[in-house]
């Protein structure tokens, strides 16, 4: 993914993300947006802790973050990018589909997920983003995500 950072870094705290996305505990999966370009791309971070509610059942003997939640975290980062556009403020971004998802590394308590989503195509209210999650520079998951704005 070739996200080009701009000179002025834009970031959003968890409170600011909550003003853009409707997700709340336990589904608010992005701790901070570290940089973004409205309508183009966003980068975020999630610090994975043993206190995550999903670790109670996935798997109690070997804690691994579920792949579907990795995809959801990536989708939330992409949603921030598209919903920061003035024309989309106050709207919702719904998951429309997932293509070519690959899980390359387990995510466990103590990992810091670096999340990136670049919006590659848009046709009216429907768009596609290329998303990658990394831990210590290693790809943990990647996918092409489709979304719909309502």
Question: Active-site residue numbers?
Answer: 58
Report the distance separating Cα 123 and Cα 35, nearest Å.
24
Tell me the two tokens of residue 25: 């505990």
Which stretch of DSSP H or E encloses residue 106? Answer: none
41 touches 81 (CB < 8 A): yes
DSSP 123-147: ETTEEEEEEEEEETTEEEEEEEEEE
């Amino acid at each position: 993914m070739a996200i080009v950072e701009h000179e002025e870094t834009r970031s959003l705290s968890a409170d600011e993300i909550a003003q853009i996305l409707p997700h709340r505990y336990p589904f608010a999966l992005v701790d901070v947006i570290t940089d973004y370009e409205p309508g183009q791309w966003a980068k975020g971070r999630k610090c994975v802790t043993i206190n995550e509610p999903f670790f109670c059942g996935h798997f109690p003997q070997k804690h691994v973050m579920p792949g579907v939640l990795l995809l959801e975290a990536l989708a939330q980062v992409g949603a921030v990018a598209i919903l920061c556009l003035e024309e989309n403020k106050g709207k919702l971004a719904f998951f429309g589909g997932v293509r070519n998802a690959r899980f390359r590394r387990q995510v466990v308590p103590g990992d810091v997920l670096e999340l990136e989503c670049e919006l590659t195509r848009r046709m009216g209210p429907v768009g596609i983003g290329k998303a990658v999650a990394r831990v210590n520079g290693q790809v943990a998951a990647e996918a092409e995500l489709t979304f719909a704005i309502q």
